Amino acid sequence: MASASKKRRLLIYQDIQGKEPLTDWLTSLKDKTTRQRIYKRIDRMENGNFGDHKSVGEGIWELRIFIGGGYRIYFAESKENVVLLLCGGEKNRQQKDIITAREYWMDYQRRAK
């Protein structure tokens, strides 16, 4: 991951129909407090403060959020200082969400050419 203190531009992945999986997932969260805490965590990314995160391979990173059973936001750096937010999910769906994030990342890269 690049220097943690650099400002980032955050983009939300949109599929070919214009849907935003991350936004759809966030709005589906029933607990308003949890949703607000996750949004705050995403906001900190813009200032280069990623907090607890790790690579899950193939250019994709997992932002780990320890609330309740645990939440994850999957992202990739599409260009220097540009972070593409791919999708999110609960810890218990982690492996499925990583596969989905890889599909979204490959789709984004194909269409960005």
Within a domain: 88: yes
CATH number at residue 76: 3.30.2310.20
25 lies in some domain: yes
> What confidence score (pLDDT) does residue 14 get?
98
- Total domain count, the chain: 1
pLDDT of residue 6: 86
The reply to whether 68 falls in a domain is yes
Handedness of CA 30, 41, 89, 14 (dihedral sign): positive
Flag whether 57 is in a domain.
yes
Give domain status of residue 19, yes or no. yes
What was the pLDDT predicted at 111? 94
Give the residue numbers spanning the domain of 32: 9-112
pLDDT of residue 80: 84
Is 1 inside any structural domain? no
Q: Given this model, what pLDDT does residue 60 score?
A: 98
74 is a domain residue:
yes
The pair of three-digit structure tokens given for residue 82, joined into one six-digit string: 């540009």
Q: Is residue 2 domain-resident?
A: no
CB 78 within 8 A of CB 112: yes
Per-residue pLDDT of the chain (113 residues; tens, 9 = 90+): 545 678 999 999 999 999 999 999 999 999 999 999 999 999 999 999 999 999 999 999 999 999 999 999 999 998 888 999 999 999 999 999 999 999 999 999 999 87
Burial 54-83 (b: 16+ CB within 10 A, else e): eebeeebbbbbbeeeeebbbbbbebeeeeb
